[in-house]
Amino acid sequence: MAVRLREPEQAAAREIFAPTDPAPGWELSRFRPIRRALKSRLFQFLAILPNQVIFWLVILTGVLGAADPTRNFATVITWYIWFAAVFLLMVGVGRGWCLMCPFGGLAEWVQRLSLWRRHPRALTLGRRWSRTLSRYGLIPSLIVFVVLTWFEEFFNIAGPGRPVYTSYLVFFIIALALVTFLVFERRTFCRYLCPLSGLIGTVGSTGMVAGFRTRNRNTCLTCPTKDCMRGSERGYGCPWYEWPGSASSNLMCGLCSECFKNCPYDNVGLYLQPPLTSVVKPVRRRWDIAVVALGLLGIVVFQQVNALAPYAPVDAWLNRTLHFPGYPNPVDYVGIVALTMAAVVGYVAGLRAVFARPSSGLRAVGAAVSRPLARAARWQALERWLTPLSYGLIPVIAADYLARQLPKLCDHALRIVPAISDPFDLGWNLFGTAHSHLYSVRLLPTSGVVHVQMAVMALGTIGSLYATRSIVRRDLSGEARRPRFLTAVALAFVAAVGVALMLLYAAMGGAE
């Protein structure tokens, strides 16, 4: 039965559907081969299948393959190649990895009782994610990422350490995804719990793929069925709970193409956008993205600081004092992450204290209502500054994560050549490369790696300077006194962050 929105709902929808500034302008799905691929129900299955095969091979070879992690297929492809490739994909595409992810892919096949065809039933309890938890957006994903990163460092999984630990980690993520898919509806795991979702959504906002958007928003507003969200005989409702007409960034588009298949008016397209558009010009900014961005910055700063030789005695002292068995001590891990986040919050609070226009409204609120409500009002005022300025740091954070993967990629990526010939350490030579000299060949010398890291960080810093300048002008000029001076101070802080991170890479000297 057709469902029509009441007039008040239509008014709210028109606000939600306010156009992106600027709207994505280059539609990839206009090209016939791309259009045919996106319309096919085989599209996502074929995108997932190769990675599905590779990651089950990772699990098997991690358990049964060579004990030497530098010759084991699981550790070589996961930590020397895959992790760097995922970051490149994030920076360039956005949620391109989500399109081909084997973790959610397998769980979705089980949930849907089908590999690609539209099945009328689903193997799931169909529970909805808590509305209370949904207010925290991607913060649960950040928490899972923080915890798994600590375990990865403690067991030296990506060192790489014992190959079996890589198998355990991959299997854990697959199992967590499967359980979540069997309990909750659609891709609840991918949206809220996947350890990579917050990272990909935040870093991926630098990417040039805008995701699936509506061509004519008025058509979307008047659509009586909303097949893109509810599903139809042509496909499933959006697994990510997204409405193409309300999308103003690529944050939550998993590129699955279900909305493209479902739209009865052919009103959905896959668009490209200029780099950083989803950082600079989303219609609505989200406070959870600010928290995730600062948390991600804290994690990578911890990894950089701990790679410095002078810091090793500090961690050793903490372990002795707290009787903890080894690196990384959870106190300095959590402490450095928290201090990094607090430093940025303090900087924003200082900016607001100096540059915000006087607000008699806040003083009245503080005098007229209870202290908890007054504190909430003050936090909301701070959040209006913290969220946009945190978005401005996303490009330099993205560059930092990419630069952190370069030593392993450049030093050891070619070890995949001998590893693929004998994945189970049985003396095979499947491709004639088991004893290849490429095992000991580096893509770049150590000095070259450091230079590339510095260049990547310089590009990220330039991106953050551009984003911060644009964000301050768009989001804060109306709330600030002396907006030009505010812009100058904000840019100086971003430049200082970028330079500090570059100096850390110089001090690390290409350390992995």
CA distance 392 to 36: 37
pLDDT of residue 4: 44
β-pairing, 235-236 with 231-232? Answer: antiparallel
Q: Cβ–Cβ contacts within 10 Å for residue 1, how many?
A: 4
CA separation, residue 117 to residues 44, 60, 111 (Å): 11, 29, 13
3 state SS of 94? coil
CA dihedral sign of residues 170, 316, 331, 200: negative
Structural domain ending residue among the three candidates 278, 312, 343: 278
- 291 and 213 in one domain? no
Instruction: Classify each residue of 365-387 as buried b or exposed e, where b means 16 or more C-beta atoms within 10 Å of its C-beta.
Output: beeeeeeeebeebeeebbebbbb
pLDDT of residue 11: 43
Q: Is 409 among the domain residues?
A: yes
CA distance 233 to 243: 18
β-pairing, 231-232 with 268-272? Answer: unpaired
Q: Report the DSSP beta bridge partners of residue 209.
A: 272
Q: 315: closest CA among 301, 300, 333, 297? A: 333
Q: Is 2 among the domain residues?
A: no
Structure tokens at 71: 């010759």
- 271 and 135 in one domain? yes
- 389 and 273 in one domain? no
Q: Cβ–Cβ contacts within 10 Å for residue 467, how many?
A: 26
- 332 and 248 in one domain? no
Phi/psi region, residue 127 (left: phi>0; alpha: psi -120 to 50; beta: rest), is beta
Q: Report the DSSP beta bridge partners of residue 235.
A: 232
- 256 and 365 in one domain? no
In terms of C-beta density within 10 A (0-12 exposed, 13-18 middle, 19 or more buried), how is residue 346 classed? exposed
What dihedral angle (degrees, nearest 10) is formed by the CA atoms of 100, 101, 106, 109? -40
pLDDT of residue 15: 45
* Interval 321-347: pLDDT, tens: 999 998 899 999 999 999 999 999 999
- 322 and 241 in one domain? no
Structural domain ending residue among the three candidates 278, 301, 332: 278
Instruction: Classify each residue of 99-134 as buried b or exposed e, where b means 16 or more C-beta atoms within 10 Å of its C-beta.
Output: bbbbbbbbbbbbbbebebeeeeebebeeeebeeeee
- 185 and 256 in one domain? yes
Q: Is 152 among the domain residues?
A: yes
- 143 and 122 in one domain? yes
- 374 and 247 in one domain? no
Q: Is 293 among the domain residues?
A: yes
Find how far residue 454's CA is from the centre of its chain: 22
How many domains is the chain partitioned into structurally? Answer: 2
Q: Is 12 among the domain residues?
A: no
- 317 and 196 in one domain? no
Asked if 34 contacts 270 with a C-beta cutoff of 8 angstroms, the reply is: yes
Q: Is 128 among the domain residues?
A: yes
Asked if 388 contacts 476 with a C-beta cutoff of 8 angstroms, the reply is: yes
- 267 and 291 in one domain? no
Backbone angles phi, psi at 444, to 5 degrees: -145, 150
- 131 and 184 in one domain? yes
pLDDT along the chain (512 residues), means of 10: 41 46 75 96 96 96 95 95 92 92 96 94 94 94 96 91 95 96 96 96 94 89 91 94 89 95 94 94 92 98 93 90 90 96 96 81 48 71 93 97 95 95 94 94 95 97 97 90 93 97 95 89
Q: Is 7 among the domain residues?
A: no
CA distance 40 to 36: 6
Model pTM score: 0.92
Q: Is 11 among the domain residues?
A: no
* Interval 120-163: pLDDT, tens: 899 999 999 999 999 999 999 999 999 999 999 999 999 888 99
CA distance 113 to 352: 53
Q: Whose structure tokens read 């990894």? A: 303
Structure tokens at 69: 């992690």
Domain boundaries, position 31: 21-278
CA distance 117 to 215: 27
CA distance 262 to 258: 6
Q: 436: closest CA among 160, 58, 81, 76? A: 76
Structural domain ending residue among the three candidates 249, 278, 307: 278
CA distance 115 to 90: 26
